[in-house]
Amino acid sequence: MNIRKCVAAIGLSLLPWMAWASGAGVHLESANIDVGNVQSLQRGAQLFNNYCLSCHSAQYMRYSRMAEDLKLPVDLVTENLMFAGEKIGETMTVAMPAKEAAAWFGKAPPDLTLTARQRGADWVYTYLKSFYLDPGKPTGVNNLVFKDVGMPHVLWELQGWQRLKSADGHEGDAGSHATSHEGAADSPFEQVTEGALTPEEYDRAVRDLVAYMSYVAEPVQLKRAGVGIWVLLFLAVFGVLAYLLKKDYWKDVH
């Protein structure tokens, strides 16, 4: 009996590892974001508010705080980045009722305020690059890091469509003009139709988007970096003073 319990306990303790292992099969690309780059965050905000807020909320983020942190004039934000008739001091809610969304997509689109921290920037970056054509799915797409995802490929106009390379490593028909981009020899995808952006431009757009999501997940990180610089400056100045003082105190001691 005891042994059984023991085995059950070991089995249970291994469960989280098994869950982790099942998701770890896909190689995540490095997002390489720079949250200190305000222009990147501004571009990310534009993409996020245009392409994501229609389904997802970011309900812990206020438009006014974003405007301030990203150095965007309030009227520019109200005119170009707010679509649901909110006011500048309000949080980023979503007009679509969760219940209906769940009926349409099988799953309600989750709030994205904290996603970049929960999933990690690399995961979100890879996710947004990993939608591929799958005629068996209601949305026509599947995702390599999120199997059977309910979300459509909302950035298709920018990225174009891609499909999985066939399992034997054969890159499509000889006659097709399927292209691969830089560093893509080991990419699991091949491009089927081109989007408005080149693959490099799309990578940059997704990087901006993920940088913005990472900022939204922890807005104070911008301030933290700013404070850090002052702390280092203070330490440098204080270090010089302390050294001069020490020299002065010790000049008569031999």
The two tokens of residue 49 are: 């508010």
Reduced to 3 states (helix: H, G, I; strand: E, B; else coil), residue 40 is helix
Nearer to ligand HEC, 33 or 151 (CB): 151
Confirm or reject binding of residue 178 to ligand HEC (CB under 6 A): no
For residue 176, give Cα distances in angstroms to 81, 136, 164, 172, 224. Answer: 40, 22, 14, 7, 51
Q: In the structure encoding, which two tokens stand for residue 237, read together?
A: 């100045």
Residue 8 or 103 having the CB closest to ligand HEC: 103
Q: Which is nearer to ligand HEC, 70 or 211 (CB)?
A: 211
- Looking at the Cβ atoms of 111 and 171, the one nearer to ligand HEC is 111
Q: Does 161 sit near ligand HEC (CB under 6 A)?
A: no
Residue 66 as a binder of ligand HEC (CB under 6 A): the answer is no
Task: For residue 232, give Cα distances in angstroms to 108, 156, 220, 228, 244.
Answer: 45, 44, 18, 6, 19
CB 221 to ligand HEC: min, Å: 19
In angstroms, give the least distance from the CB of 179 to ligand HEC. 23
- What gap in Å lies between CA 51 and CA 208, rounded to an integer? 13
Q: For residues 183-213, b (16+ Cβ closer than 10 Å) or e, as one string?
A: eeeebebbbbeebebebeebbebbbbbbbbb
Pick the binder of ligand HEC from 120, 152, 172, 188 (CB under 6 A). Answer: 152
Q: Quick check: 190 and 159 in contact, CB under 8 A?
A: no
Measured between alpha carbons, how far is residue 20 from residues 17, 82, 116 in Å?
5, 37, 18
**From 125, 127, 131, 215, residue interacting with ligand HEC (rule: CB under 6 A):** 127
Q: Which stretch binds ligand HEC (CB under 6 A): 6-14, 19-27, 53-61, 130-138?
A: 53-61
The minimum distance between CB 70 and ligand HEC, in angstroms, equals 17
Count of residues touching ligand HEC (by CB under 6 A): 22
For 130, phi then psi, to 5°, come to -115, 20
Q: Which two tokens stand for residue 164?
A: 């999985």
Q: Does 105 bind ligand HEC (CB under 6 A)?
A: yes
Tell me which residues in 5-34 interact with ligand HEC (CB under 6 A).
none
Extract the tokens encoding 117: 């921290």
Give the separation between CA 27 and CA 196, rounded to whole angstroms. 26
- Cβ 118 to ligand HEC, closest distance in Å? 6
Segment near ligand HEC (CB under 6 A); pick from 16-24, 33-41, 48-56, 193-201: 48-56
Which residue's CB is nearer to ligand HEC, number 152 or number 188? 152
For residue 112, give the DSSP letter: -
Beta bridge partners of 162: 191
Interface with ligand HEC (CB under 6 A), residue from 66, 92, 109, 122: 109
**Piece of 19-27, 49-57, 71-79, 236-244 that binds ligand HEC (CB under 6 A):** 49-57
